[in-house]
Structure 1
Amino acid sequence: MSDGFTSRFTEEEMAAIRKSLRDEARFGSEFFARLKRVAKRIPFSEDLLAAWICARDPSTPRRVRMTLLAALGYFVLPLDALPDIMPLLGFTDDAAVIAAAVAAVAGSITPEHREKAKRAMAEL
């Protein structure tokens, strides 16, 4: 099954992705800590969690996983194009990056991923 991608990541992109994901446990804990802090304030929290669940699913194609993890890495990074503390605008860059990644791999985020995200959001 094709994942719909025809181009490859550049060497710089791959290096940045590898660097941010080197310590998967730390990345996961940073992701969840940040999500818990902001989940009630941002409308795309469930999409973030569905992307995380999809990226952690072993049946997800590697390219899709890397795309989602790169977008999630942007969400976790403390330096943003727009600082998250800015009222109303702070999360717009994060939302745009997540929306673009989710749109690029939409067929890979399954209803099961979304259902798990919905259940997990109820527990946050």
Structure 2
Amino acid sequence: MTTEHTVDFEPAERLAKDHARVRREFWAKIKKVAARLPFAEDLLAAYYCAFDRQTPRHVQASLLGALAYFILPFDVIPDVMPLLGFTDDAAVLATVIRLVSNHIRSDHRDAARAALQRLKDGVTPATE
């Protein structure tokens, strides 16, 4: 029987490994591109929700998948293409956020706004 906090199709070790990779590579990429992303706040809110210990595992897995797609160097549409480069990232993120939107709380959004402001000010967010 599956509970809300388990992921039958993904071993826990794999999810932990993905957690570490997303956490490690996310901030490096967001620092480079935050100013160009119209969906940066949603991306950051998804990040904070994915790493919130209160977020159910299946939600974490979905968000980590979307975040991993954002940080991975291969893409359906390469991120270096002006205007079009992040459209596929935005589509994946928007789809996942719509599916798990009731788990992205106001404190995740507040943290996202604060981190985005720090990035715009040239300060590295403390949550790296």
Q: Structure 2 unaligned runs (5+)?
A: 120-128
Q: How does 1:47-86 map to 2 (within 5 A)?
A: 47-86=42-81
Q: Which residue does the alignment assign to 2:31?
A: 36
**How big is each residue's C-alpha offset from its partner over 1:8-47, in whole Å with a ceiling of 9 and x where there is no partner?**
9784xx37xx37x516444312111001100000101111
RMSD: 2.4
1:104 aligns with 2:99: yes
Q: One-letter code of the match for 1:51? A: A
Query: Structure 1 runs of 4+ off > 6 angstroms?
Result: none
- Relative distance call for 1:122 and 1:59 in structure 2 (3 A) is same
Secondary structure of the 1:79 match is coil
Residue 87 of structure 2 aligns to which amino acid in structure 1? T
TM-score by length of 1: 0.83
How far residue 72 of structure 1 moved from its aligned partner, in angstroms, is 0.2
Identity %: 50
Cα distance in 2 between the residues matched to 1:63 and 1:116:
22
**Number of residue-to-residue matches in the alignment:** 115
5+ long unaligned stretches in structure 1: none
Q: How does 1:6-45 map to 2 (within 5 A)?
A: 11=9, 14=10, 18=14, 22=17, 24-45=19-40
1:118 aligns with 2:113: yes
Where 1:40 maps in the other structure, the secondary structure is helix
TM score, norm. by length of structure 2: 0.80
Q: Is the 8 A contact 2:70 2:89 kept in 1?
A: yes
SS in 2 for 1:39: helix
